Structure 1
Amino acid sequence: MAWDEWERLKADALQRQQGSTQMQLNELDGGGGSGGPGRPDAYGGLKVANDGLTKIGKAAFGLYNQLWDKARVAVPSSDSAAADLSKQGFALSPGLKHVSNRWEEQLKSLMDACAHISNHMRVTKKLHDNDEGYIQRQMSSIAALDAGFDERVGAPGGKKKEE
């Protein structure tokens, strides 16, 4: 929104406010008229629709499984080769053992990162789902409470019938 558009909207609102002696509520009609008790979806919904984040979590989980199945294979065979070379008196064995240890450390670090990403995406989704449920319960309670204060016998907006 450009600055001049903002200034024009403010001036229009001020003009409407000064020209009107009636009360005006600033609200958006949801299309169904005034609410009343009902599903909180009528008021809008808290949505967590981050399909990209879900895909990232699944990809991280898949990478973790592949690393577990395929990348760990090198450690036992390298350790075995280092031990065999050591028995035969080769000076190469400590270097091979060092490489094997570093590979295992780096692999564990990468697998931990993948697990962290996957778990974080799952926990985040669950927390947002719980928040949405809480908000829906609160909005539903407000609607029920609001309906309880309506002592009219007739339809909303009509006058109360005298008994």
Structure 2
Amino acid sequence: MAWDEWQQIKADGAARQSASMRLNQLAPAAGGGGAGKPDMASSPAAKKAAAKAIDDDLEPGVTRDGKHAAETTNATVKAFGAKDGHGWDTSGALKRAHEAWEKQVQMLLGRLFSERQALCATGISFQNNDLDIAARLSRQSRIDGI
């Protein structure tokens, strides 16, 4: 590699790092969040799509991959386990690590479930809030008594 090429690679890397480290300025106005269109899924259609993605992709994928990991880990634990009174210490450590990992997978599945429930219930919550506010205002309205 020639010296000029090395200098160019270093300059390009420094420019990329400099660009990624600019945290003290606003995001670009168009298309990058900030002053442009918000990134949050606030429309009912976007919330429904997010809930569907959790149902169709994330939960089944986590469950499938968790089962696969359990099967392969159990096979490895068995392979490293005691045979004729001798075994690897790795077997017990791997089993304990996998038990902790399984708990984390279950927590993730629970979190995905509650996020999906929250996405589905948001519209109902907004509607209930609107009805509650309307009921409170109508009790206090002097126009209704006229």
Query: Which protein has greater RCO, CA pairs closer than 8 Å, 6+ apart?
Result: 1
Larger radius of gyration between Structure 1 and Structure 2: 1
